[in-house]
Amino acid sequence: MTTLHDTTAPATAPAPDTATAPGPAARSVWPAATTEPRPGEVTVGGVGLTEIADRFGTPVYVLDEAEVRDRCRTYTHAFPDTEILYAAKAFLCRAMVHWVADEGLGLDVCSAGELELAVTTGFPADRIVLHGNAKTPRDLESALRLGVGRIVIDSPSEIARLAAAVGPDGHQRVMVRVVPGISAGGHEKIRTGTEDQKFGLSISDGYAQHAIARILDQPQLELTGLHCHLGSQITGVKPYLAAVRRLVGLMAALHRQHGVTLPELDLGGGHGIAYRPGEPALDLTALARRVRAELTGACTAAGLPVPRLIIEPGRAIAGPAGIALYHVVAVKHTGSHTYVAVDGGMSDNPRPALYGVRYAPRLIGRAGGAAVPVTVVGRHCEAGDVLAADIELPGDIRPGDLLAVPVAGAYHLSMASGYNMVGRPPVVAVRDGRARVLVRRESVGDMWVRDVGL
């Protein structure tokens, strides 16, 4: 089974004529089923990346089904007796719904669109949790109509809206998203456990406690537990332990004040992964062991039964299973910089522009020359359309070459846009030597059909 935190360096280089995977350091950012039969020729899931580019064009997202399933199993093995919800916002399509269902995971969705895609694919609605800081009437209507398992309340106004939508004779299980006042995450724009931001209800100012009291006064709403989400790209265990202590403290206060014992505690996700060799990743084994010990100890000290733990991994399941392929369109030497321009960019991966994510592209299809520093840029009309700044690629890189960007399975297609009307790339799944399209390429015709202005 693949591990999520292997960043050790290879002891020796493999012989060039032997079919091997990249060394352990590189494996930390490539699917486990990656091999390099010949220098420059890389296969994933038994399918060559150059073959995928030739068959399906570029840009194209490649998703290793076995890696997705392996990572689901890693979670179920590390967190027994825990409800694991795949965070659909990272990446969702009908095949992904089937895979996570097969592996026994639930789903965490944040819109009617994600919810309806999952349910119409056959996913049980009672294994789905809906959250979001600004749920629309359609979001709530779909959740109630389809019978979603739990709705996470994120603001005081949502309580009355939801109670009215449920009706006096209805019933809906809910949780409350609280802000524990903990700063964690890879960038300030993806830290959501701190005070004074748009998500959740603060413990420190009493808004969370007030909202909980209001929910307890609504007989058609059943409060099952507390929810928090600290942020994204968290690579250490300590923030989760601090969150456990603060949420159990709130649970104890609610028990004293209202006599209520909450059976669930949702710690969200945000589990960090390595985007480049040598970067840290969250140790799931340590996280599971220490969170369980912290939760048990805190509940024992408070005289509470241990609630059922819920976690919501998204990126850590989908991210390392994906690869983005691009063809080089131009190479430009300007001043002291070399810019390698590809046929995609911020429309299929806005994350470097949004919060400075750094990737490690590599040349595919041939053995290149000596490495030189370059910046890989996209085709879009923005100076900030940079996919990988100040990285090393072969100095003889030229138009027509193929570049692969690993760890592209999360927050690429789900955040893709229609900028410059280039169309969103397809998603191709690989497994056991076969490749198949999961999501087709968005055509110009797809975009034109929405334009009804004439």
Chosen domain end from 318, 338, 363:
318
End-to-end CA separation in angstroms for the chain: 56
Both 178 and 293 in a single domain? Answer: yes
Check whether residue 285 and residue 366 sit in a common domain.
Answer: no
- Note whether 57 and 107 are same-domain residues: no
Residues 220 and 96 in one domain: yes
In a domain, 453, yes or no: no
pLDDT given at position 21: 44
Q: Is the pLDDT of residue 100 over 70?
A: yes
| Amino acid of residue 178 | V
pLDDT digits (tens, 9 = 90+) for 292-308: 999 999 999 999 999 99
Within a domain: 285:
yes
Average pLDDT over residues 166-173: 94
372 and 310 in a single domain? The answer is no
| Total count of domains within the chain | 2
In a domain? residue 4: no
Same domain, 209 and 221: yes
Local structure of 136: helix, strand or coil: coil
Structure tokens, 99: 């895979």
Distance CA 25, CA 2 (A): 13
The pTM assigned to this predicted structure is: 0.91
Tokens 């280089």 correspond to what residue? 13
pLDDT in tens, 382-405: 989 999 999 999 999 999 999 999
Question: Phi-psi region for residue 301, left (φ > 0), alpha (ψ -120 to 50) or beta?
Answer: alpha
One domain, residues 48 and 145? no
Mean pLDDT confidence for 327-332: 97
User: What CATH number is attached to the domain comprising 428?
Assistant: 2.40.37.10
Contact of 325 with 60, CB cutoff 8 Å: yes
Final residue before a domain boundary, out of 318, 345, 377: 318
Task: Give the pLDDT score at 188.
Answer: 54
Query: Per mean pLDDT, which range of 27-31, 93-97, 289-293 is the poorest?
Result: 27-31
Q: For residue 435, what are its two tokens?
A: 């490749």
- Whether 82 and 202 share a structural domain: yes
For residue 425, the cross-strand partners are none
**pLDDT for 226 beyond 90:** yes
| Residue range of the domain that includes 59 | 24-64+319-448
Asked if 129 contacts 107 with a C-beta cutoff of 8 angstroms, the reply is yes
Tell whether 106 and 207 lie within a shared domain.
yes
Question: What mean pLDDT, rounded, does the chain reach?
Answer: 90
Domain finish residue from 287, 318, 349: 318
Exposed, middle or buried, 302 (CB in 10 Å: 0-12/13-18/19+)?
middle
φ, ψ (nearest 5 deg) of residue 393: -135, 165
Q: Note whether residue 454 is domain-resident.
A: no
What is the model's pLDDT at position 183?
55
Q: CB–CB of 246/182 below 8 Å?
A: yes
What integer is the mean pLDDT of 398-414?
96
The pLDDT > 70 percentage for the chain reads 90
Q: Give domain status of residue 11, yes or no.
A: no
Q: Which of 72, 93, 110, 381 is catalytic?
A: 381
Does residue 2 have a pLDDT over 50? no
Residue 19 in any domain: the answer is: no
- Confidence (pLDDT) at 207: 87
d(CA 412, CA 406): 12
CATH number of the domain to which 116 belongs: 3.20.20.10
d(CA 138, CA 433): 42
Torsion sign, CA atoms 341, 342, 348, 352:
negative
Structure tokens of 372? 């030189």
Helices (H), 190-268: 207-216, 238-258
Give the torsion through C-alpha atoms of 44, 343, 358, 19, to 10 deg.
20
Known catalytic membership, residue 381: yes
- Looking at the fold, whether 284 and 355 belong to one and the same domain comes out as no
Which pLDDT score, from 0 to 100, does residue 16 have? Answer: 32
104 Cβ partners below 8 Å, 6+ apart?
A: 72, 76, 84
**pLDDT given for residue 253 in this prediction:** 94
Q: Are 42 and 70 contained in the same domain? A: no
Residue 27: the pLDDT is 56
Asked whether residue 201 is assigned to any structural domain, the reply reads yes
pLDDT at 232: 81
Residue 185: per-residue pLDDT: 53
The sheet with strand 34-38 has its strands ordered as 34-38, 41-44, 47-48
**Of all residues in the chain, what percent carry a pLDDT higher than 90?**
81
Tell whether 392 is covered by a domain.
Answer: yes
| DSSP per residue, 315-342 | HHHHGGGEEEEEEEEEEEEETTEEEEEE
192 and 226 assigned to the same domain: yes
